[in-house]
């Protein structure tokens, strides 16, 4: 890009200084004049090359006759100029030779003179005047006529007449039949009922129907029998277990970190269960999106497991450049997955340069990075149940009460000192703790108490309940008349407002956060002038959060708000260290030697109660966790030249791609607000990409391929839809039905298109062998999960235990670098559905992993369907299959003892949802007689009819 951009620019300004400035050596006079670009420079541009192309690729790079081109730059994403700042302008750096490998013009004898460089510098510093509105260069609003970026069209299904009108079951069929007419392709007839029930069970539930379920459907002669079957399958809890797998592929979910250590994530599984439950509950898709990007703002702690579902490199490099690159790779994973999964855009392609095909700039990419910059990998506490919350609050109060009663037994050297300033000879106190800090001082008369924070361990400071005591009475409570004021409060968060500083409630959800990074003050005016001797405070009394902790602070009191006196500060504390809060009271802290026997016994009982309460508090604080990320307020985000972490350019604001919208966020916007705004835009009904992408995915998972065969690339590099109007109609149906995914399922499943036979037609095959116009139901091999689950189901060994920690397919060497060895034997615990198999990144189940399971290294929108000898060998000879074949044979003998024909018939009913033909019955009998029933079961579990959806 540099060479192309500057060959254009500098080939047009390689002119004698005299022709521009009048006098070749009149530098002084040039600096005093305003450069008239229209008269002095633009005519020369117009006389030269205006459209620069790469001679090798013929790609258009840059146009200097357009205002926006100068500001946007070429493919590298580097703006040619920065208005008013020639020092930082890429153009100036190259003409000055600041980048030796990219000096422009490249030929030494054509380099610009110092006068020409000075002229260019003046023009940029003066604001780069340009012909046009007010003669000023401004960034033009980008536009695109690409199909997927256009608003959804309000479309009605076409009207179909004639015999085909009778075939149509709903709007889907009208669009399909019209396209078939255009292509002169006849559609197939409806499949028989046995085929339909098996198809819908395997497609929606990932399990075959039982013979009893098949028979009930066959016996139901009501006109809506099939519609009832559709509703029944969609209401089954097994629906979520099957369709969650599609989503987990998309969001690269796994329960290990990946990379060389590949350590476990023991708290990742709740996200998997969250996805399953969301599908079963038919959670509106827009809400589903919001909860995954910003669940902490939308009431779902677990949902943000999406953000950190990808790989994470635990081993950090001592090389700062490599460490920064690791962090940028983590953020790239979040950006790219968000783009592909929700929007069908390859946003990651703009990391090092502007996107080659789509109007996504490098600035857009780093604006998105600014949104995710505060997301860190790690566990987060799940919300505490109300009963547990109340118990925790009672325990905290009990600890404070016991500490106060034990105060008189503290050694004299730990008794309160007059003031912090006079305590230099005393030992330093322990560092501040996030849970609870006590400031003791001699009784002091005060009407106003001000807590000023000068530094925190991260982000804006947070205080959870500021308590001011006169003896045992907290005189700071709002309900007693105390009034709180502050420097500022973090906007947009009801749980972090000033009113919570003295509302008598503990916990992060009842706390105050300043709107100033690392600083702020809060003040409480007491109801009356009072003698106070103790102040208690913390960042989070529940112990769930340790960020935003005041580590440098001062507490002052005043009688009249004019004269202030310091009563406590961090000056006499040890430096803050990132460690777990230490127990505030140990037996060595108190002295009972001077007490009488009974007094000492009573004091020790108090100490014992305190220690029990502290232990109880620790237990209450160590609640369930989920691997759903940790959030901190990020620092500035810069665009990176060529994606190099140390090559920072201008700072960018958090934002969505400019071509679509503006989020109107500031560079210092709160971290959660950034993700919240992005989620709201992605899930907006005005965003045409989101509904198009998800209905295309649903269609693909039902039929094997979507209208857009590049399901995660709806950009210019992707394939246009075969049925654009049907795609938009379904997208509109999704939005108008409250983003219900089950509504889209019902439309598809109830359509005549879905109910067609899968049989090939010679005439249709000659025109559309790939069935991309859906003249038949495309038969295809089942995915790994339905194959494994179906084998377990027909053998009678399927364990339907739902949810919770998964089972492992491996024996693990728990070394620093984990080694995963396939299991050699299996028990009932291993016979749960495959969705509950612990997903190990970069490792595959020894039998079914070969059936094209993703390795969770990145988002997978569409699994490949390969056919390999190893698949056949594993499915025929593996320990797992041999065990299941044996269990299958035992089931047949148990349910149909002694009668071979009945055993064969049951096997066919279980595996194929039909009875064997006479020929099949005879051949099976001969085979079993020669090779035994177990071998027959092994063969039938390997048959195409069992392994295919048709």
What digits encode the pLDDT tens for the residues 755-769? 999 999 999 999 999
Write down the mean pLDDT value for the chain.
86
Contact 159, 174 (CB under 8 A): yes
Percent of the chain with pLDDT over 70: 85
Pick the more confident residue, 199 or 140.
199
Q: Is the pLDDT of residue 322 over 80?
A: yes
Q: What is the mean pLDDT of residues 346-356?
A: 93
Contact 772, 176 (CB under 8 A): no
What is the SS3 assignment for 537?
strand
Please tell me which of 157-166, 226-235, 635-644 the model is most confident about, judged by mean pLDDT.
226-235
Query: Where residue 585 falls among pLDDT bands split at 50, 70, 90?
Result: very low
pLDDT of residue 48: 30
- By CB neighbour count within 10 A (0-12 exposed, 13-18 middle, 19+ buried), where does 269 fall? buried
CB neighbours of residue 383 within 10 Å: 15
Range with lowest mean pLDDT among 116-120, 168-172, 924-928? 116-120
Q: Is the pLDDT of residue 452 over 70?
A: yes
Query: Where residue 491 falls among pLDDT bands split at 50, 70, 90?
Result: confident
Nearest CA to 558 out of 538, 530, 535 is that of 530
pLDDT of residue 467: 95
Q: What is the mean pLDDT of residues 416-445?
A: 70
Q: What is the mean pLDDT of residues 895-914?
A: 96
Q: What is the mean pLDDT of residues 709-736?
A: 97
Q: What is the mean pLDDT of residues 604-611?
A: 87
> Measured between alpha carbons, how far is 462 from 924 in angstroms, rounded to an integer?
74
Q: What is the mean pLDDT of residues 435-440?
A: 90
> Measured between alpha carbons, how far is 95 from 118 in angstroms, rounded to an integer?
11
Sign of CA dihedral 409, 412, 414, 415: positive
* The Cα angle at residue 106 between residues 104 and 110, in degrees rounded to 5: 85
Q: What is the mean pLDDT of residues 270-278?
A: 98
pLDDT of residue 423: 38
Q: Is the pLDDT of residue 61 over 60?
A: no
Q: What is the mean pLDDT of residues 395-399?
A: 78
pLDDT of residue 424: 42
Range with lowest mean pLDDT among 606-615, 756-765, 932-941? 606-615
pLDDT of residue 420: 37
Q: What is the mean pLDDT of residues 191-219?
A: 97
pLDDT of residue 18: 32
**pTM metric for this prediction:** 0.76
Q: What is the mean pLDDT of residues 743-759?
A: 97
pLDDT tens for 74-89 read 666 677 777 788 787 7
Contact 125, 85 (CB under 8 A): yes
Range with lowest mean pLDDT among 103-112, 254-263, 840-849, 884-893? 103-112
> Measured between alpha carbons, how far is 454 from 469 in angstroms, rounded to an integer?
24
pLDDT of residue 372: 97
Pick the more confident residue, 686 or 6.
686
Within 269-385, where are the H helices? 269-280, 285-294, 320-338, 362-372
pLDDT of residue 50: 30
Within 126-220, where are the H helices? 164-167, 171-183, 193-200, 211-219
> Around 750, how many Cα atoms within 13 Å sit in the side-chain half-sphere?
19
Query: Where residue 599 falls among pLDDT bands split at 50, 70, 90?
Result: confident
pLDDT tens for 521-563 read 999 999 998 889 899 999 998 877 888 999 999 999 999 988 9
> Measured between alpha carbons, how far is 844 from 256 in angstroms, rounded to an integer?
13
pLDDT tens for 292-316 read 999 999 989 999 999 999 999 999 8
> Measured between alpha carbons, how far is 938 from 689 in angstroms, rounded to an integer?
47
pLDDT of residue 36: 67
Query: Where residue 391 falls among pLDDT bands split at 50, 70, 90?
Result: confident
Strands 810-813 and 948-949: unpaired
Give one word for 22, left, alpha or beta, with left for phi > 0 and alpha for psi -120 to 50: left
What is the SS3 assignment for 274?
helix
List residues bridging with 455 in a β-sheet.
552
Q: Is the pLDDT of residue 376 over 90?
A: yes
Contacts (Cβ under 8 Å, ≥6 apart) of 653: 367, 370, 665, 666, 667, 669
Q: Is the pLDDT of residue 626 over 70?
A: yes
Nearest CA to 253 out of 310, 334, 190 is that of 310
> Around 449, how many Cα atoms within 13 Å sit in the side-chain half-sphere?
35
User: Cα separations (Å) of 324 from 94, 321, 910?
Assistant: 26, 5, 56
pLDDT of residue 579: 40
Query: Where residue 894 falls among pLDDT bands split at 50, 70, 90?
Result: very high
pLDDT tens for 456-478 read 988 899 999 999 998 888 999 99
Q: Is the pLDDT of residue 854 over 50?
A: yes
Q: What is the mean pLDDT of residues 392-404?
A: 77
């Amino acid at each position: 890009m540099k060479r192309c951009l500057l060959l254009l620019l500098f080939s047009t300004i390689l002119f004698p200084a005299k022709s521009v400035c009048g006098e070749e050596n009149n530098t002084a006079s040039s600096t005093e004049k305003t450069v008239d670009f229209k008269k002095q420079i633009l005519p020369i541009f117009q006389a030269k090359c205006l459209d620069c192309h790469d001679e090798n690729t013929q790609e258009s790079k840059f146009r200097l006759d357009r205002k926006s081109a100068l500001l946007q730059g070429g493919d590298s994403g580097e703006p040619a100029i920065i208005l008013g700042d020639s020092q930082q302008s890429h153009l100036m750096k190259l003409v000055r030779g600041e980048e030796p490998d990219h000096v422009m013009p490249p030929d030494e004898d054509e380099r610009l003179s110092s006068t020409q460089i000075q002229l260019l510098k003046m023009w940029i510093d003066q604001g780069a005047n340009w012909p046009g509105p007010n003669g000023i260069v401004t960034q033009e609003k980008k536009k695109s006529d690409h199909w997927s970026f256009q608003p959804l069209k309000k479309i009605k299904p076409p009207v179909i007449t004639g015999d085909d009108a009778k075939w149509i079951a709903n709007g889907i069929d009208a669009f399909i039949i019209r396209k078939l007419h255009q292509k002169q392709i006849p559609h197939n007839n409806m499949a028989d009922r046995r085929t339909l029930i098996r198809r819908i069970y395997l497609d929606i539930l990932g399990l075959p129907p039982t013979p009893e379920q098949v028979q009930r459907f066959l016996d139901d002669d009501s006109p809506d029998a099939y519609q009832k079957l559709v509703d029944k399958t969609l209401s089954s809890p097994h629906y979520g277990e099957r369709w969650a797998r599609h989503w987990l592929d998309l969001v690269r979910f796994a329960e290990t970190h990946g990379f060389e250590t590949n350590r476990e994530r023991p708290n990742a599984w709740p996200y998997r269960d969250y996805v399953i439950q969301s599908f079963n509950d038919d959670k509106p898709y827009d809400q589903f999106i919001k909860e995954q990007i910003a669940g902490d703002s939308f009431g779902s702690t677990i949902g943000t497991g999406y953000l950190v579902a990808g790989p994470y490199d635990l081993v950090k490099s001592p090389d700062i450049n490599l460490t920064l690159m690791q962090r940028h790779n983590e953020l790239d994973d979040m950006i790219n997955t968000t783009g592909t999964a929700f929007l069908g855009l390859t946003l990651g392609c703009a990391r090092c340069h502007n996107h080659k095909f789509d109007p996504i700039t490098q600035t857009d990419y780093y604006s998105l990075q600014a949104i995710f910059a505060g997301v860190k990998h790690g566990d987060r506490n799940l919300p505490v149940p109300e009963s547990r919350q109340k118990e925790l609050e009672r325990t905290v109060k009990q600890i404070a009460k016991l500490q106060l009663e034990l105060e008189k037994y503290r050694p004299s050297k730990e008794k309160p000192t007059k003031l912090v300033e006079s305590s230099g000879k005393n030992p330093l106190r322990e560092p501040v703790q996030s849970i609870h800090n006590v400031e003791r001082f001699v009784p002091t008369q005060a009407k106003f108490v001000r807590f000023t924070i000068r530094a925190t361990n991260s982000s804006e400071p947070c205080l959870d309940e500021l308590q001011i005591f006169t003896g045992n009475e907290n005189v700071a409570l709002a309900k007693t008349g105390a009034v709180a004021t502050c420097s500022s409060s973090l906007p947009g968060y009801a749980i972090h407002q000033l009113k919570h500083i003295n509302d008598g409630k503990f916990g992060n959800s009842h706390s105050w956060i300043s709107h100033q990074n690392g600083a702020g003050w809060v003040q409480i005016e007491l109801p009356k002038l009072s003698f106070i001797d103790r102040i208690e405070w913390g960042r989070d009394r529940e112990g769930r959060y340790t960020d935003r902790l005041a580590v440098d602070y001062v507490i002052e009191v005043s009688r009249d708000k004019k004269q202030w006196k310091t009563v406590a500060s961090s000056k006499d504390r040890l430096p803050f260290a990132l460690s777990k809060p230490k127990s505030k009271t140990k037996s060595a802290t108190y002295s009972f030697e001077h007490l009488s026997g009974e007094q000492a016994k009573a004091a020790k009982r108090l100490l014992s109660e305190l220690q029990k309460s502290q232990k109880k508090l620790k237990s209450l604080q160590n609640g369930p966790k989920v691997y759903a990320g940790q959030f901190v307020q990020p620092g500035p985000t810069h665009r990176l030249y060529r994606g190099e972490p140390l090559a920072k350019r201008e700072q960018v604001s958090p934002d969505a791609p400019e071509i679509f919208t503006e989020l109107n966020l500031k560079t210092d916007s709160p971290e959660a607000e950034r993700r919240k705004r992005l989620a709201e835009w992605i899930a907006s009904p005005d965003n045409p990409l989101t509904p198009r992408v998800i209905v295309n995915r649903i269609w693909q998972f039902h039929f094997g391929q979507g209208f857009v065969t590049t399901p995660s690339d709806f950009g210019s590099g992707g394939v246009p839809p075969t049925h654009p109007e049907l795609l938009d109609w379904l997208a509109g149906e999704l939005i108008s039905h409250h983003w219900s995914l089950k509504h889209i399922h019902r439309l598809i499943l109830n359509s005549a298109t879905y109910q067609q036979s899968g049989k090939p037609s010679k005439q249709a095959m000659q025109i559309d062998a790939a069935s991309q116009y859906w003249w038949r139901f495309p038969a295809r091999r089942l995915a790994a999960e339905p194959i494994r689950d179906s084998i377990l189901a027909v053998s009678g060994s399927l364990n339907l235990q739902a949810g919770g920690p998964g089972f492992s397919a491996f024996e693990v060497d728990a070394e620093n670098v984990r080694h995963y060895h396939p299991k050699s034997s299996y028990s009932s615990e291993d016979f749960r559905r495959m969705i509950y198999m612990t997903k190990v990144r970069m490792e595959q189940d020894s039998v079914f992993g070969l059936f094209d399971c993703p390795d969770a290294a990145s988002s997978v929108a569409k699994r490949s369907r390969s056919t390999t000898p190893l698949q056949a060998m594993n499915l025929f000879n593996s320990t797992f299959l041999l065990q299941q074949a044996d269990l299958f044979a035992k089931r047949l003998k148990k349910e149909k003892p002694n009668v071979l024909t009945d055993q064969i018939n049951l096997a066919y009913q279980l595996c194929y949802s039909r009875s064997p033909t006479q020929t099949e019955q005879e051949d099976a009998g001969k085979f079993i007689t020669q090779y035994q029933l177990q071998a027959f079961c092994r063969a039938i579990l390997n048959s195409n009819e069992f392994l295919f959806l048709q």
